[in-house]
């Protein structure tokens, strides 16, 4: 059930709007400012079009477009004018919003950053993309982990960005930290359509968690984004699925109370619990060990694939980016701290 796109809202429901924003072309500060205003206008459209909507979600790259331009003149700050404009729009129209910026980083390449702003204009969550879409994206790997925030009507929100959602560990971390709704914003193009759909469904089912995901839509004259807004129930069934129409707001209702119920009472396929309680029918409390080699190796800093030396693409030179000279955590021109 999705309440006919949120038109019939349940007392414990959260109505989410997913804005399939037209893919912009942004090459100058003036165009950046104009696009920020357009996003604020779409925030107003969301409220005017639906009095029951709680949260409007904008795609990754909705401000900057897909040029991958790292010009400092186009980069943003969380306390900058673009974000302040959106905070005011959320305040004025009494709606939560999820927004995307490329964030200035004095110590390296910019961060690909997502923000959740509440209906009073407060920044409730700031997330930096952990897994840039290499080798295409030049962004600094995120350094804030996966933060959570309390959302509208008693919900618990997490945000991941685009390629993040291809890693099951990301969704598992969101759920483990208590999220009942995972937002996923993206700028993906059509070749990723099938992978997008199956990962949104798997991330939901494997973690008993709603996923609400949206891409940019339309063409900027070079790239063609796909839209494909989706809300998936915690049982893995798609509740709402948009197409490719630019600027359409695809909406639906989710009920976090049902997630919390399933996590408490399900036996079969309560996988998030069972991961840490293997075989509890046979042994009291189940096995709580970690039998996964890759987890131990990653935590110890020795993650290495059997075919590591045969991997061909290990930097961004194939996409025109220079080889990096800095290790993770190091400032420009320096070694890792």
As annotated, the active-site residues are 60, 129, 162
Using CA atoms, how far apart are residues 182 and 163, in angstroms rounded to an integer? Answer: 14
Using CA atoms, how far apart are residues 55 and 4, in angstroms rounded to an integer? Answer: 16
Three-class HEC string of the chain: CCHHHHCCCCCCCEEEEEEECECCECCCHHHHHHHHHHHHHHHHHHHHHCCCCCEEECCCCCCCECCCCCCHHHCECCCCHHHHHHHHHHHHHCCEEEEEEEECCCCCCCEEEEEEECCCCCEEEEEECCCCCCCCCCCCCCCCCCCEEECHHHCEEEEEEHHHHHCHHHHHHHHHCCCCEEEEEECCEHHHHHHHHHHHHHHHHCCCCEEEEEECEEECCCCEEECCCEEECCCCCEEEECCCCCCEEEEEEECHHHHHHHHHHCCCCCHHHHCCCECCCCCCCCECCCCCHHHHHHHCCCCCCCCHHHCCCCCCHHHCCCCCCCCCCECCCCCEC
Length of the chain: 337
Using CA atoms, how far apart are residues 248 and 216, in angstroms rounded to an integer? Answer: 10
């Amino acid at each position: 059930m999705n309440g006919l796109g949120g038109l019939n809202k349940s007392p414990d429901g959260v109505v989410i709007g997913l804005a399939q924003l037209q893919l912009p072309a942004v090459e100058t500060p003036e165009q950046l400012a104009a696009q920020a205003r357009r996003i604020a206008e779409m925030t107003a459209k969301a409220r005017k079009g639906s009095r029951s909507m709680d949260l409007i979600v904008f795609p990754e790259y909705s401000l900057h477009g897909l040029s991958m331009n790292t010009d400092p003149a186009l980069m943003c700050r969380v306390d900058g004018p673009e974000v302040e404009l959106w905070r005011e729009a959320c305040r004025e129209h009494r709606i939560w919003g999820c927004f995307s910026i490329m964030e200035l980083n004095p110590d390296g390449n910019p961060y690909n950053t997502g923000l959740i702003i509440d209906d009073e204009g407060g920044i409730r969550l700031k997330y930096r993309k952990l897994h840039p879409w290499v080798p295409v994206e030049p962004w600094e790997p995120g350094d804030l982990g996966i933060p959570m925030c309390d959302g509208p009507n008693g919900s618990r929100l997490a945000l991941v960005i685009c390629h993040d959602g291809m890693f099951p560990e990301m969704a598992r971390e969101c759920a483990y930290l208590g999220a009942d709704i995972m937002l996923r914003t993206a700028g993906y193009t059509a070749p990723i359509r099938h992978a997008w759909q199956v990962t949104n469904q798997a991330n939901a089912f494997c973690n008993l968690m709603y996923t609400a995901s949206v891409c940019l839509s339309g063409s900027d004259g070079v790239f063609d984004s796909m839209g494909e807004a989706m809300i998936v129930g915690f049982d893995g069934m798609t509740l709402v699925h948009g197409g490719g129409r630019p600027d359409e707001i695809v909406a639906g209702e989710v009920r976090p109370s049902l997630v919390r119920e399933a996590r408490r009472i399900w036996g079969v396929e309560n996988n998030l619990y069972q991961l840490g309680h293997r075989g509890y029918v046979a042994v009291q409390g189940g096995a709580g060990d970690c039998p996964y080699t890759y987890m131990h190796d990653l935590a110890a800093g020795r993650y290495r694939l059997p075919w590591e030396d045969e991997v061909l693409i290990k930097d961004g030179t194939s996409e025109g980016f220079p080889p990096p000279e800095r290790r993770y955590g190091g400032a420009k021109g320096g070694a890792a701290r």
